[in-house]
Structure 1
């Protein structure tokens, strides 16, 4: 028992020691400021993430201020300033189709020999 007491008294426990062994003093390096500017990451949202939805997950349909057959003037795009008549209303994405304006062309190959191909608008 006496030997045990003498070994405990020889131990020197302090804040900087672990079981009598002292640690190397911790070195605090000054914080280095980065010269780079933070970069904001922007990702394009998917079509279904952008749509405003009702509680039952159906998209909110906005009331259109134009009706079928109305005469309207295009305010943006390559056909800006042209006047036309509303041919079709697409409610799920709130867009309209105007007669003879911004038409898509489709090239159709000939099916039989001697028949010519067509360009359909």
Structure 2
């Protein structure tokens, strides 16, 4: 059974708990099965990337948004 969430892609949300508390950002992706959301510019992690021919021939590190639990974000009204 799918869970109905009040937050959807494109909404502006405020982080209410965790290291990025107080930041606001746009929702990039909603994952209802895991009850998590990806917020643009929040909870950034540095990920090691192996070299490949197309996207990243040198490899190295990239900054990537990590999922945040939906209970730690609040929808910003009027945005």
Q: TM-score range by the shorter chain?
A: 0.5 to 0.7
Which residue of 98, 103, 107 corresponds with 2:44? 103
CA offset digits 1:58-107 (Å, max 9, x no partner): xx422110111111100111111100000000010111100111122212
Bigger Cα Rg: 1
Q: Of Structure 1 and Structure 2, which has the larger fraction of its residues in helix? A: 1
1:1-121, aligned counterparts within 5 Å?
Answer: 60-109=1-50, 117-121=59-63
Q: Which of structures 1 and 2 has the larger relative contact order (alpha carbons within 8 angstroms, sep 6+)?
A: 2
List structure 1 segments (4+ residues) > 6 angstroms apart after TM superposition.
none
Q: Which runs of 5+ in 1 are unaligned?
A: 1-59
TM-score (norm 2): 0.62
- Secondary structure of residue in 2 paired with 1:104: strand
